[in-house]
Structure 1
């Protein structure tokens, strides 16, 4: 296996997303005897999984952080003990490059002409399944940010079980952040592409097959990233961010944010027809991640992390432009859609903190939630999560925790303790990497007393590169 050395782009600049806390690791490790500082709660039982990009071979051309091969890192907690393992997501592209012994794809910063294959909708980039991990019907699904095949993993061994076709009923791709209603067993998803139909929405039933799918009309190709559900509805997005078609014809990937277009939110019954969708307009923005949504009388409440500058302007090198595009600048924001009048109300929940990668008690997805747990984004050149913040929807209070200088974390899902009775009756779990020591640990914090800091720190045998999304799977789900 080739080592990933310090890489540069064509201008000779060092790429920060291949260095330090982002640098890929090559070893797949299984470790049972881990050093613990403090004491792991015996009522914390389940597995914490986090996905992320991890380049296996030296890249062809310029590297974009999103290009890295998917690698899942997991810590299994059981009766006060912890076990760590990490495994590559063995996608079709991963296996093809393994057989060749080298990189076969260029990344999104390069001309894709000559790439072996793309996704089902014709996007000619490498589906790495490196973005999110979602638990549904006994398996974990690894997803890709540009819409790809959902790869099924065993939640404990992390073995890649193959593409989940949902009993041969999935026709097309699968977006990065599907929503699971744990009360009904349903999974809600969409896919999108550069050609009509620009957006499709579907429902996987509790039996594991796609039971509902509709094509939704959009004015052109868009780049939606997330969606929401409530008890009775689904919310899809038509946001004014799209690929520049002139650049695409020249083999370049460039995004355009049109501030003259409104943000639109499509609300339809969870198994509704295409002609039942109702569009609500709001101020132009982009949204990477939804916190949650629910119904209050005739209104739908939607909480999100809202971005107003998804394409910051820079005239620097291609590498400088990539770094600028990747930098998150989001605020907690709330929409209210009045189903009776068709009116949209909107405003900030927190105009001050740059927060993203939100987490809630997943048992309440689509229902009213009191708490949200977000990462805080450091004021730095690259994306670094330097702490956590808990939002209280009832009192409006915020509680924060900082990892400390030079220490950066991951998305921290809520992990209910055994017998949990509430949204803060449990823990938050996160990988935390110290850039000075090149070492990673897992921190466990009381969800109800975040500012007190970790009650336990589990030291890991290798560094976990900074990455993307995480999930918590409860012991009862594993059973």
Structure 2
């Protein structure tokens, strides 16, 4: 089916316009030692040199770590009601010649400009109701560009999941504007988790109810193809995965039930329906198979691969339900501990008999990822965060799960840190999966600053080999990527 905005988008329908009357007063009403993770950043962070406070800089480590996440939630005239709805702040950690630098800028979106003018957060979002003052002409008017960031061609793309990519300058972080991949596809949804093949080709989805547009882009971001496909049901889809030959779309039993806003109120948890996994041939989007699996909720998947007997495997961080999406992430913004267990790491196996089976690793984990050079190929390791607990819903540790040995190794920074997702950076001249540095930031809560760490993946339990410290603190980000120089 050829996609068009008319046939695909019904986003303007059923906006529940209700004013925010109480949130600002109750924001952060419960103090917590991790409240810096959802604190407001009032403006861009000018470039600065970080202070090395531990260890030695690994030889040959050179590049930039880009991260994206919400960093402005509260304004005097009204505030966001959900962690996922703050304005996107794109961070750039540079490492070159043994020195580390930091700069950060907000994506200059129509949403941010309008809310700055009103001095109120008025746009609807994942868990935030619209304010009557919101002026909405298209879905990109509410796009916070706040979830992930990828280098595509000569630009950074700051991604959300329900609207267009936002292009930014990779050096200055200056906003260039929304990306329109084809004029008739303007403002179509583009998930924040594209799957990138080792040669750079980009696959992505844009989801609306029980249909999705499948995007296929060249490495430089040029559109190669876009096609709408039907889905077996209207599950909430934040992430998908892919093998070398197939797209793998997990359809959890959190199902769209009503056209209302905010998004989190439109879904029902229906565990009796189980989880379905739709597998689609990349070369023929009509060639598909549906696998049945036990009910679980999820946000994030690792890369998938296929084995010689037709089995497909991928890692997933499973939730017992999606209460975190509906309520827990709102509680985090308020500084309230969660009442439910965190996500747990598992390996999903799709068998030729049409069944999907979960093998749990035993670790409370999130943000699974691996070696980008092995995207779509068999791999041994999963990199992820660790240490989330109901009374402390943000990670304190980084972990590496070895699926061959059935063991998870990790390093816990302790309760004085909030750990962001870290990335896999291959060591120069080496090709082994574990021959890599793990690079990522934490919030040092006691010092009130952000730190940047480098760990050896093969000896992750030894902790950082090098740490730099900033003179500012940034809230927790969601996702990011490394660009080598």
Map 1:328-477 onto structure 2 (within 5 A).
329-338=342-351, 341-350=352-361, 352-381=362-391, 383-475=393-485
The answer as to 2:148 corresponding to 1:148 is no
CA distance in 1, matches of 2:384, 2:354: 28
Q: Tell me what 2:105 maps to.
A: 87
> Is the CA contact 2:363–2:408 (under 8 Å) kept in the aligned structure 1?
no
- Alignment pair present for 1:66 and 2:84: yes
The CA distance in 1 between the partners of 2:325 and 2:425, in whole Å, is 39
Question: Equivalences for 1:302-313 in 2 at 5 Å?
Answer: 302-311=314-323
Structure 2 residue aligned with 1:129: 145
Tell me which of the two structures has the higher relative contact order, counting C-alpha pairs closer than 8 angstroms and 6 or more residues apart: 2
- Identify if the C-alpha distance between structure 1 residues 26 and 61 changes in structure 2 by more than 3 Å, giving closer, same or farther: closer
Quote the offset at 1:24 in angstroms: 1.4
Which residue pairs with 1:23 in the alignment?
39
Q: 1:213 aligns with which of 223, 226, 229?
A: 226
Show CA shifts across 1:174-195 (max 9, x none). 0121111132x2111111124x
Cα deviation for residue 327 of structure 1 reads 6.4
Are residues 57 and 139 of structure 1, via their aligned partners in 2, closer, same or farther at CA, if it must alter by over 3 Å? same
8 Å Cα contact 1:74/1:86 also seen in 2: yes
Q: Tell me how far 1:198 sits from its aligned partner.
A: 2.7
1:140: how far off?
2.3
Cα distance change on mapping 1:447 and 1:264 into 2, 3 Å: same
SS at match of 1:385: coil
- Alignment of 1:182 with 2:192, yes or no, is no
After superposition, the Cα gap between the structure-2 partners of 1:427 and 1:226, relative to the gap in structure 1 and judged at 3 Å, is same
Would the aligned equivalents of 2:339 and 2:390 in 1 still touch at CA under 8 Å? Answer: no
Q: Is the 8 A contact 2:265 2:326 kept in 1?
A: no
- 8 Å contact kept, 1:51–1:72: yes
The reply on whether 1:47 has 2:64 as its aligned counterpart is yes
Q: CA RMSD in A?
A: 3.1
1:458 Cα shift?
0.5
Structure 1, residues 117-166: CA drift from partner, whole Å, max 9, x if none?
Answer: 27549xxx831111111233243221114x22111222232222221223
CA contact (8 A) 2:152 2:220 kept: no
> 1:233–1:56: structure 2 CA closer, same or farther, 3 Å change rule?
same
**Superposition deviation, residue 413 in structure 1:** 0.5
Aligned twin of 1:193: 208
CA–CA distance in 2 between the matches of 1:211 and 1:23?
40
> Does structure 2 retain, via aligned residues, the 8 Å contact 1:429–1:445?
yes
Q: Give the alignment's TM-score, normalised by structure 1.
A: 0.86
| 413 and 169 in structure 1: CA distance in 2 versus 1, 3 angstrom threshold | farther
Distance 2:23 2:325 in 1: 22
Aligned residue for 2:272?
260
Decide whether aligned partners of structure 1 residues 169 and 207 sit closer, same or farther in structure 2, where only a CA change above 3 A counts. farther
Alpha-carbon deviation of 1:106? 4.8
Q: Secondary structure at the match of 2:379?
A: coil
Residues 313/452 of structure 1: CA separation in 2 closer, same or farther (3 Å cut): closer
CA deviation map 1:357-408 (0-9, x unaligned): 1121112111112221110142244531110111113222321100023211
Q: Which of 322-331 and 201-210 deviates more?
A: 322-331
Distance of 1:34 and 1:249 partners within structure 2: 42
Go from structure 1 to structure 2 and tell me whether the alpha carbon gap of 1:109 and 1:331 turns closer, same or farther (over 3 Å shift): closer
Deviation per residue, 1:225-258 (Å, 9 max, x gap): 1111111111112221134427x28998353210
Which stretches in structure 1 are left out of the alignment for 5+ residues? Answer: 1-6
Runs of 5+ unmatched residues, structure 2:
1-21
